[in-house]
A and B are shown apart, each in its own frame.
Chain A
Amino acid sequence: ETGVTQSPTHLIKTRGQQVTLRCSSQSGHNTVSWYQQALGQGPQFIFQYYREEENGRGNFPPRFSGLQFPNYSSELNVNALELDDSALYLCASSFKAGGGIEQFFGPGTRLTVL
């Protein structure tokens, strides 16, 4: 059983560019949640996908978008990057949407926007 993986590990972009981050969920999991963790802060919920549909969204602008694929892997896309988008982006998978089931986190993608 493989765990949650994320790619790339690190990424450097400039303001105004677009970025795509990828996440492979743990085997058997059908729900993926994305979080942004700024330096020294707790994770902030971006959105969650359950069976390829968005299942809740946090307080993030529309330039943050996502996808979930039939194999339950997921992408986070961020358009028009801003300096404040620099953060660790965490992906977490779980067995079903909500229900109190624990989430399993990937190692994260460290995004730096210059």
Chain B
Amino acid sequence: AQSVTQLDSQVPVFEEAPVELRCNYSSSVSVYLFWYVQYPNQGLQLLLKYLSGSTLVESINGFEAEFNKSQTSFHLRKPSVHISDTAEYFCAPNAGNNRKLIWGLGTSLAVNP
């Protein structure tokens, strides 16, 4: 069975500080990996994805994530956060024969001035 664990339910951080949101998954098959972001009172938006190739993937707003196969992790990082980054972040591996997304419980990132 596949599963995903987001190790931090809440991450408070000051503006311009670095942040890391942790995600570990378990799967007996190869996976594709996604990070989605949900801003307050909005739907889910794709932040970045790993399908194949380079293990370091980047988004247009400064986030990056690195696929680590040996540690089965896909942690999300940003070197300097903004208040506008305040949102819920979901790690979602996509694995198995039917390739369904498996959702973590989410990490609430609160950026304070």
In this assembly, does A41 line the interface, its C-beta being within 8 Å of a C-beta of chain B? Answer: yes
**Count of A interface residues, CB-CB < 8 Å:** 24
CB-defined contacts of B104 to chain A, threshold 8 Å:
42
Bound-state CA distance A35–B102 (Å) is 11
Cβ proximity bits A74-102 to B, threshold 8 Å, 1 near / 0 not: 00000000000000001010000111111
Bound-state CA distance A104–B45 (Å) is 7
In this assembly, does B7 line the interface, its C-beta being within 8 Å of a C-beta of chain A? Answer: no
Total A-B residue contacts, Cβ distance less than 8 Å = 52
Bound-state CA distance A108–B88 (Å) is 15
Contact across chains for A105 and B106 when beta carbons are under 8 A apart: no
A-B contact pairs, 27 of them (CB 8 A): A33-B101, A35-B103, A41-B105, A42-B90, A42-B106, A45-B101, A92-B44, A97-B98, A97-B99, A98-B97, A98-B99, A98-B100, A99-B99, A100-B32, A100-B51, A101-B99, A102-B46, A103-B46, A103-B101, A104-B46, A105-B36, A105-B43, A105-B44, A105-B45, A107-B42, A107-B43, A108-B43
What residues of chain A have their CB less than 8 Å away from a CB belonging to chain B?
33, 35, 41-45, 48, 55-56, 90, 92, 97-108
